[in-house]
Structures are given as C-alpha cells and as structure tokens.
Structure 1
Amino acid sequence: MDIKQLKAIVTVAEVGSVTRAAELLHLVQPAVTRQIRTLEQELGIPLFERTGQGMRPTEAGAIMVDRARRALNELERARAEVQPTPGVVTGIVTLGLLESTSDLLAEPLVTALARDRPGVELRLMTAYSGHLQQWLDDGDLDLTLLYNLDSTPSLNAHPLVRERLWAVAPRSAGLRADRPVPFTEAAKHPLVMPASGHALRRLIDAAAVRSEAAMDVVMQTNSMRVQKQLVQAGHGWTVLPGVGIADDVARGALSAAPLSEPDVWRSVVLATPRFGRTPPAVEVVARELVRQINSAVAQGRWPSAQIQGDDTPTEGE
C-alpha cells in the first residue's frame, strides 16, 4: 500500500470515474486502474463496483477511502509543519464553528490570520454542536466550538462565553431586546424548532418543562438558516441564540427578545483533543479565535453574551 494507491482510490471515489481521476492525477487511465487493482489484490476484496452512474465504492471501499483521505491529510499537515520558514509558524488547521457563530466569527478570523499568520492554512467546518463533537473525536477537526459541554475522557473543554437564548418572530411581532418574553408567551405561537436530538432543542425542551408550557411545533429542521427563513415567511416563531440572529434583527428582517421565566442560557466552549501533540499552528488559531470572541462580546456584537473563565460554572452546574 503506497501513497499513489491512496490518492487513486480517494480521487476515483470523489469523481466517480477512472478517466476523470486520471486527468486530475496527471496519469494515464491504465495506471490508475492498475493502482486500484493492485490494492484490491493486496487486501483481497473489491473496493469499487461499476454502475450506470460511474465507479462507486463498495462497503469495504468506503472504509478504505475514508481512512486513506485522513492519512493523506495527515501527510499534508506534516509536510507543512516540517518545512517552515525560520521564525514563521506554518501548518494546516481545521477549525469547527457552530453554525450560529459563523457569520460573526469566520470572516474576521480569516482576515486576522491572513494578515498576521500567512503561514497558517485555515480550513473551516460549520455544523451543529453534536456533529462538530463527532468530527473532533474522529480526528477530522483540530479544535472546535461546542456548547453546554464539560471536558470528557477524549477532549478538553475551555469555557468561553455564556449566552442567552432569544424568542425570534417576524418583524411584525415587534419583539424588542429590552422587553424579555416569558417562555409561556412564546409557546402560544406555532414554533419552528431545531430537530429533536440537537443540543439546542434539548435546552428548549427543558425550558418548556420548567415553565409547564405545551409547545405547538409545526416544523423541525437541522438548519438555522431554514428556521429563520420560515419565521420570516410567517410560519411561526422560533428560539435561537442571540449571536445567530443579530444581523437579521439589525436589518429589520426579524424581531427578537430574550426569553424569560425561565431564562435559557447556553455555554460555548473551545474543545480540543485531550491526547496528542498540539501543533504551534493550532495554538495560534486558538488564541486568535478567543481574541475575536472577546472582541465581539466587548463591542456588543454578540447579544446578551458574557465572557466565561475556566473557573466559571457552566450551565447546569
């Protein structure tokens, strides 16, 4: 098993064609076919099957492609780290951002790193907290923002921000930041909610239990953008962290108010793997991310957020 074989199976899996893969790899088609067949013979199992839609990995092939992609990524990262310019931090860093924070943090973070740390190649992934945690555990992320999570045997969680959840409604509802909305009042409206199983939905469900409010959930989605679009179109209200709706409220697309009775908070943490070496490039990105978050809170761009230190209790403690 060699690097050429790994590149061949990953590329064929991505494009679905040996011919196209050969073009991308700057090889002739028989060479790519030979690399795949040699690897299949070594493993004793077929890695691809030919279908009307092109080359598709078998079940075993999908496993090999996933592992090969990670191995190639690690080799690429190692090459970036061991060939630095003297005095310059270099490397590839994959960072996970909560979907609700991406509009606030992504652009200023990329701009700051491009200006001050040009040797660091940043790769951004956005998703809900549960997906990001799984990707961190799988080794696909170097560090990530998560929420309402303590340190676990596999990762360290460093508290950053404690923020309030908001009731979000169409502009016509006239919700205001200085007039909190009781949870029972929000629950009287049809609700567009995060899908069951998401950490944000668990916070909302717990608040409903505490307030003894019955929710009329008319739609569930795993996309914050879809939640906001449906609310703006008049399908109901929703509940989101303030950071996720600040721009929408500022431009008049939505109205929003902090939830009360009970107040509902979430704690955002920076999670990193507990074991293994932390490359200098990852440390650089972590420091800049924390600086951007502190700046956003200090300037009021992260609504109803409070900076947390490592000694500050997280939600539920």
Structure 2
Amino acid sequence: MAPRLPPSSTSVRAFVTVARLGSTARAAGVVNLTQSAVSKQILSLEHHLGMPLFERSPAGLKLTEAGAIYLPYAEAALEQMERGAMRLSERSALGRPIRLHMVAIAGERWLIERFPAFAETHPGVDVQFTNYVSESETEEPDLEISHGAPPWPDKEAHYLFGRDVALLAAPALLERMGGFRRAGDIQKMTLLQHFQMPTFWAEFTEAHGLRGAVPAHTVRYGYYSVIIRAAVAGLGVALAPRCYVAEELASGALVNPLDIGFTSVTGLWLTRRLDRPARPGLDAFIDWLKVEAAAFEAATRAA
C-alpha cells in the first residue's frame, strides 16, 4: 500500500488551526496565510485523503467524523516536527563552542587543571579558551574572566577570588637587603608591579599607614607569571593575589614577610554581557566556575 502522506505540512497546520478556531478567517492570521489560501490548503488535504474533513455552514466549519479521527494524528505529527526542529536547534547551538576570554594566570594557576572534571560531566559542552582577542576578531567571547572591580552596568558579574593580596619576596632577597622588620622596609626595595594593577601600591600603603611612601624602584610587567618568576629570582618584591603563589609559598621559594597584605577592591571576576543570548551549557558552566572558585579561595586561606 502506498503511503498516504499529506501534500505539505502547511496543509496539516491549516487543518489543525481551523479545527481549533472553527473559521478559515481566524486561522489565516495564525498561520500567516490569506483566508483564500487557508481554504485551498484544506481542500488540498481533503482531496489527498479522499473525504471531507469539515461540514461547511453559515455558522462556520465543524469537523466531520473523518476530521475528528484525523485531528489527533495531525496534531501529533506537528508536535513531533516541532520537537525535532527544537532538537536540531539545540544540537546546532551545542556545536558552537562557548568562548571564554580570561587572563592567563587564571588559567595557569586555577582553571585548566580543574576543567577536565567539568568536561567529563558535560561532554556536550565545548569550551574554547583564549587570553587575547585580536582587533579583527568578529566573534565576541561569551564569558570573560578578568581582574577589575564592579559595577559593570551592562554585564552580569560574579566574584571569583583574588582580593587577598600579599607582599611577596624571595628569602635570599630579604637576607641581602638586611631583613624585613616592618611594613616601611618595602620602601628600600624594587617593586615588581603588574601594569594593570597600579592601585595595589596605594592600597598597601593606605592599609599600613604609609600614605605617600614610594618604593626605591618600580619595574612593571604585563603578566603575573613573569612577576612571580621575577620575585622568585630575587629581582624585587611583589604585591600579588595570594592564591596565585600558593605553590611558591608552600615550597619556600617565596615568603610573605610578617604576613603583610591587604584586601583589595580589585579581584578576579567572571562577567557575561546582558545582551548576549542564552546558550546551552552556559549556565551550567557559570555555576561550576563559581563553586570551583569558592573552593579555591577557601583552600588558599586555609593554607
């Protein structure tokens, strides 16, 4: 027996809509066709099935027995097509990676070693990492992890960690400089400063009653990884988030003289632009990042 498929999904949609509303005029606006076109779609479907689906009268259209039998199957067919289209749309969205733009140190000292746990539990979520987007890049990141301080009126923002800032130095440097007995001794030393964190020195001096003090010399770097290596090499003292130097503090390569530090207004934040569309897996990734960040900061404080 040859399959009795309808002439088109449009004819089936027109039939279902007319059956619900009882009028081709009212159905026309719903299916974006003219009233005449709706009538033609119904007639085409009736011709295909070989029997009338509606009784026509001045009062409107009423389903025939055949129409009443056919209606639930037509509704189910449309529902299945809509579900299929939705699944394809979701699959297409999942195929586009989530772009995460982050400062390099966050990946090196925190995220990358933890990310396999997320990837294992969310195999369908593809996350692409970058710490630089060129001027010619047309696709903006979905998420950004960067140092800063709120507010960001056009962004959803979540604090991650990094406001606990410590004074850091190599033991050999302190010995060479005659030790470190009070906060003011920092003025005798070279300061290794991140060029994006110029306020750290002002915050440090304010916290320790040294307003107006200046270091003997300042060297600026663009990456925390370089600052940390320079500090380990004894090239100067650094002010850096404690969480980034947990390994060096644990090994003794760096020390925090007199346990001196301060709580900065600047921290590491996760942001998402409010005008960006929702993406499958994005909310799950954000929630995971927040949980992992809280655990990381707690572990750093307990160390």
Which bracket does the TM-score occupy, shorter chain normalised?
0.5 to 0.7
Equivalence for 1:126: 131
Report whether the alignment pairs 1:107 with 2:112: yes
Q: Is the contact between residue 97 and residue 144 of structure 1 (CA under 8 Å) also seen in structure 2?
A: yes
What 5-or-longer segments of structure 2 have no aligned partner? 1-86
Instruction: Provide the C-alpha distance between the structure 2 equivalents of 1:139 and 1:154, rounded to a whole number of angstroms.
Output: 18
User: What is aligned with 1:232?
Assistant: 232
Letter in 2 for 1:82: S
* Residue pairs, 1:1-317, within 5 angstroms: 82=89, 84=91, 91-126=96-131, 140-161=140-161, 163-172=163-172, 183-195=183-195, 198=196, 200-208=197-205, 211-212=210-211, 213-257=213-257, 258-260=259-261, 264=264, 266-298=266-298, 300=299, 302-303=300-301
Please give the root-mean-square deviation of Cα atoms over the aligned residues, in Å.
3.6
Please list every run of 5 or more consecutive structure 1 residues that lacks an aligned counterpart in the other structure. 1-79, 306-317
1: CA distance, partners of 2:146 / 2:224: 16
For the 8 Å contact 2:243–2:297, the answer to whether it is kept is no
Secondary structure class of the residue paired with 1:280? coil
- Evaluate the alpha carbon distance shift between residue 293 and residue 165 of structure 1 in structure 2; reply closer, same or farther with a 3 A threshold: same
Contact 1:174/1:255, CA 8 A, preserved across alignment = no
Return the offset for 1:289. Answer: 0.9
SS in 1 for 2:117: helix
Contact 2:94/2:126, CA 8 A, preserved across alignment: no
Indicate conservation of the 8 Å contact 1:169/1:237, yes or no: yes
TM-score (norm 1): 0.55
User: By percentage of residues, which structure has more strand?
Assistant: 1
Matched residues, percent identical?
15
1:118 aligned partner, one-letter code: P
Separation in 2, partners of 1:265, 1:151: 12
Cα separation, partners in 2 of 1:139 and 1:216, compared to 1, 3 Å: farther
Query: Which residue identity lines up with residue 121 of structure 1 in the other structure?
Result: D
Q: What SS does the corresponding residue of 1:187 show, helix, strand or coil? A: helix
**Cα drift, residue 81 of structure 1:** 8.0
- 2: distance between equivalents of 1:181 and 1:164? 21
Matched residue type, 1:287: D
Query: Once the two structures are superposed, what CA deviation does each residue of 1:137-169 show, in whole Å capped at 9, x if it has no partner?
Result: x85321122334223343222234463111110
Describe the shift of the 1:162–1:242 C-alpha distance in structure 2 as closer, same or farther (beyond 3 A): closer
